[in-house]
Structure 1
Amino acid sequence: MSNFEFLYPEAFFLLIPLATIIMWLKSTTTNSQVIASHLAAAMADKPSNSRRHYGWVALLGTIITVSLAGPSFEKQAIPASQSENARVLVLDMSRSVYANDIKPSRLAQIKYKAQDLLPLLNQGQTGLVAYAGDAYTLSPLTTDSATLANLVQNLSPEIMPIQGARADLAVKQAISIMKQAGLNQGEIVLFADDLDTQELEQIKAQLSEGNWTLSVLAFGTAAGSPIQLSDGSLLTTNSGKTVIAKTQLDHLRAAARAGNGQFEKYRHDNQDIANLVSESSFDAVNTNTKGEELETKINNGFWLLPLALLCALPLFRKGVIFSFVAMILSFGFTPNHAQASVLDSAFSNANQRGFAAFQEKDYQQASQAFKDSKWRAAAQYESGNYEGAITSLEGHSDTDSLYNLGNAYAQNGELDKAIASYQKVLQQEPENADAKYNLDIVQQQQQQQQQQQQQQQQQQQQQQQQQQQQQQQQQQQDSDSDSKQDQQDKSQQSESNNSNQDQSDSSQQSEQSEQSEQSEQSEQSEQSEQSEQSQNNPQSQPSQPESSEAQEKSARGEEPEQQQPQQEQQAQAEAEATANKQELDNNEQDEGKQQTASPSQQQEVDPDIRKLEQVESVRDPSYLLRAQMLLQAKDKAAPSSTGKDW
């Protein structure tokens, strides 16, 4: 019994809720007497039965808890065996793979062949290394070939931190991966299109230091072809001469021979992959022949299950077993979750947990898990936390960080800062097409915002002018009404003057008639003269009424002449008021059109902002691969240049 131990001691925490539930049930039973006292006396045996049930429940729960804790008092010895062929797949990501002497390109065929090979590696573990000017570990040894295939799909020379071709460093990195796993032998599978003499000598020296095998799949032709870059241009030397990428098949074959491995040349069918698999030791498993054994502890908790069933027999009453089993099941999985979380935290670092959450699109959890600020910014951007992404990216001066900082500024509406970030990227990389494209989009958006602001200012000025015109019209109408009142007063006064004139004329006529009668009576001798005067007087007398009528007509004629300008002014004022009202209605319609047009313009611009293509680099898994390689590059010295950057 010296070897006795519990494999899962955390299961004993279940005793705490078990004891709590039993005590609570017992207290509620004793304190909830709702029957009469004389009936309770007749049912005195019931509480004892309940107490016995509680005892059986406590015993059953304890036995099940001990069983879940995994008591172990013996060990089992098993022979130790291991796979002898842990392997690392090494992929050439130098710019020479852009050559298209094999269609569609060397790069595309390298990816296709790698994805064809990985599902066939069903024994042992496989790692992944990519190289250009330096070598980088993309995945340690693992049995998950699907994850490796996903990584291969997102590889390209564009994401490599250093341009060049150092296959010797890639072989060295592959050997280091297997040594870190505690292996002293393994196989390296190299997919490459060229090896120079210096690389070949370094590879031979590294393979001679251990029991390592190197197999090679060569891509390209001896004639070669120009290297067409992603922007469509051809790669040239410093002197302006077009580079022709030729495959040194002899060097690649010599490397495979030095590594005691297989050499295959690219074929359009899948026979090259079939030959690599059939002629290699991928499926070999070496069982330890030295008698070494591994001891594993045996879980003896299942022996307690019959005892638990015996304890459950007295509880076979409706509802008792079911409720207790439901309680056990509700708590039974807690230790497993706790154990899983402990294992996750023990065997994976924060960035790996963040990357796993990022792949599951749990960006909030990923942003909390990532320790690397660039990865954290990527997760924050995806979750819509643009301010957090800005905070995480501030202080970084590399082009990728500046580019994504500009994208975050643009999405957050800070267009001036976004433009400044893109301009910094173009200062470091004048040929960065993505930065140019996004800079144009943001500048257009800024111009549209400025135009909208100018339109709003013009609308405000028009409204102010309209208000001033309305005030002037109101003042003019008030002055017109005052002048009209004055003219009416003047016309009334003129009419009164005309009536007074008529009265004076009539009095003058009566006086003249009286004078004529007196002259007739006093001077009969002068009748002829009087008659002549009397004849002349009728002529003069009608002239006076005519003059009075003329005066009346003139007086009456003056009133229409005075009223006519007033009516014209009033009509003119009404016409101006109507015109102003129509102008106001038109302005309001124009404002409504402008207000309805501005959202449509905004909707036309926003999709372009959402097309910021390399936020897009945040969504692109290749961004994470590049970030992973950049982190590795920071932790080691830069390799010496061989003068070949392709």
Structure 2
Amino acid sequence: MIAIGPVNLLRPEWLYALLALPLPWWWLRRRRADGAAWRRAVDPHLLPHLLVPGRTATHRIVAWLAAIAYVLLVVALAGPAWRQVEMPEWQSREPLAIAVDLSSATAATDMPPTRLAQMRARLTRLLQSPRSGPIALVAFADDAFTVAPLTDDAANVALFVDALEPSVMPVDGQSPARAIAQSRELIERAGFPRGRIVLVTDHADSASQRAARDARAAGITVSALGLGSASGANVRTPGGASIHVQLDEGSLRDLARSGGGEYARLALDGSDDAVFATGEGVARRAREGGRAWADEGFRLVPLVMLLALIVVARRPRAAALLLAVVLLPRPSLAADLFFRPDQRAWHNVDRGVEAYRRGKFDAAAADFAKADTADAHYNRGNALAKAGHLEEAVSAYDEALRRQRGMPDAVANRAAVLKALKQPPPKGGQQQQAGQKGGASSQSQQPRNCAPGDAACKGQSSSKTPSNGSPQKQNAASPPKPADATRQAQADAAQRQRMQQALQQAKANGEKTPEKSLTPQQRERRMSDEAALMRVPDEPGNLLREKFRLEHERRQLGGGR
């Protein structure tokens, strides 16, 4: 994309087509030169009998119009854009499995304060950011274990971040290949045909590269996030040995290349986001705040077509008249051109249902009015009642009953609205009265969007499809019943009072009873309960430690990983 003043060209490579514009000009010059040769070779009094007289001025105008049409066509193909529009953000359901290294190497201090602290902070930031796909967390050392399976609740995964430390692993060491295999198993077990794995560690070996290639062949990309620095640091293993660990970016890049993913060094400033983002996510970030340039090239097409008509037909007056007719502002008819009347009515009802759901009752009533069916008038009455226009709602229900006699919902709602109209206005002025009319609840459910013939809508009283394809009512909310609303308000007040009393009683019961009022049996029971609670371990990593230990022992006994 290039910018030329206020206009941006989305496909500027089409401008190379302008280089072909001199060819027609050269051809016209060549043709004129042929005519001049006849004038030089033939006597002037014989030229009228040999040459066909032409209109030079008209030909020049036609040539200029053709050149202008060609230039406009090229500009239209280049995609001119001068405004930005909101674009829907693509949501990817591709699963993401993050495999983190919890070996003793994460205690290295080459990423202050430690690699482990930096990794925890990065995971916390990632899990707090909005995402649309499921996420899983895997921890590995010499063996790999599932911390959290694939879930859409990232907050649930974040609960385990603070418990990640080398002490929860039953064995030390580093086996990225087992981490890739464990992550791949989580994705395939969940039934996803493809997914992504992000390996957070400081190096990769040949076994892990083979595992990445196998995962890529199965539709799962493997990326790597470098943990540590090139200089490295000394760490102490659980056995007491001191070893030097450092970041091997070359092996991690080879791993990402084998897995078809990306590589980046772990950073808290977001520079490593490409490792976690899909191609859709990268494209989304390229737009400015979810906005994209709108291609306006189609606006030039009618002018190009009319200029071409002038060039071909050479009828400027007729073409100018046609241009005026085409450029007259009027609503587009393309959307309704191929719709049957029943389909057009259904689309109007569908728009009304969406407006009703958003609380735009006046707009919903206007859309329902465009469909002249019993159910559309019924829905229009519901929308008008919600908007507080009770008299108009009664008329809408009457229209519905004229088209379908005895419609039960229309009869019930009409009676409720008439009863509301007969109620005297409450004290508190017109504002309170309007709030009472428009804010009361209803007995019937919200409208549902169902396409004609949709099997999912069968068997529901709120959305029916007749045999002729005409849309039935999208059952909008019914108008209020004043007597029921009064009884409901009284019941709510009584319920709130009972809840307050229950809360006060619970608070009083929760307070510590004075020791003097306790019996010996109650005092002994309290001491026993307190002792049992003190014996419950409250270390966050205990759960993971025991889980990983049991899983590791099971694998050892079973001969598996």
The TM-score by the shorter chain falls in which range?
A: 0.3 to 0.5
Q: TM-score, normalised by structure 1?
A: 0.35
Rg larger in structure: 1
Question: Which of the pair is proportionally richer in helix?
Answer: 1
Q: TM-score, normalised by structure 2?
A: 0.40
